[in-house]
Amino acid sequence: MTQPLGVILAGGLATRMGGGDKGRLLVGGESLLSRVADRLGPQVAGLALNANGDSERFADLGLPVIADSIAGFAGPLAGVLAGLDWAAEQGANTIVTAAADTPFFPRDLVARLTAAAQGMEHPLALATTPRTGGESLKSGGRSKVNRHPAFGLWPVALRDDLRAALNDGLRKVVLWTDRHGGREALFEADPFDPFFNINTPEDLAKAEALLT
């Protein structure tokens, strides 16, 4: 299978929203999860949801639900690993991940991540957007962009390497992607950052406003 599979990352705790399944929040009368699935689904060969706990609560979505294999809510990399293990069972070579709380990400996400990773033995790329003028800049070439670690193209061939890194305590996505020469796909952030995600009630209100 050459076309990537898609995995929606919904394994977080949503503490700033009071807990629960943040993806069930409504924006414009539609849940965040439905909006994300509608955007990612047409771009991939198949779609699954990474979530922990009782999978039956997502039965209405009609998607396979895959849980983290690393205990203790180890962050987005644990969801990536769960997705890679699932993809390996399907005979896929790569997955593309998207966060469950980011309803406006680009509809050409997969195409542009794939293009950025062209020629790599193990395709690996993260989505980025330009930093705004008000954001502090660090030294080095990567300082001019924001990397969005929940939005990436990931190779099934490196899943055991990722598993070992997680078991060794690694949690920061970019440390692992940099280790393997991960590339970047740059997306415009005008009129707003398409990877804007909903963490607070104020963010939810902002998302509603962006739909009007």
Measured between alpha carbons, how far is 100 from 21 in angstroms, rounded to an integer? 10
Q: What is the CA radius of gyration of the chain?
A: 16
Q: Does the annotation list 40 as a binding residue?
A: no
Compute the C-alpha angle 139/141/147, nearest 5°.
100
User: Side chain identity at 29, as an amino acid letter?
Assistant: G
Q: Is 138 exposed, middle or buried (0-12, 13-18, 19+ CB in 10 A)?
A: exposed
Whether residue 11 is annotated as binding a ligand: the answer is yes
Determine whether the annotation assigns residue 167 to a binding site. no
Helix axes 109-116, 32-40, angle to 10 degrees: 50
> Taking a C-beta distance cutoff of 8 angstroms, is the pair 12, 102 a contact?
no
Amino acid found at 40: L
Annotated ligand binding at 93? The verdict is no
- Asked if residue 101 belongs to a known ligand binding site, the reply is yes
d(CA 75, CA 12): 7
* Binding positions: 9-11, 22, 50, 68, 101
* Binding positions for GTP: 9-11, 22, 50, 68, 101
* Binding positions for Mg(2+): 101
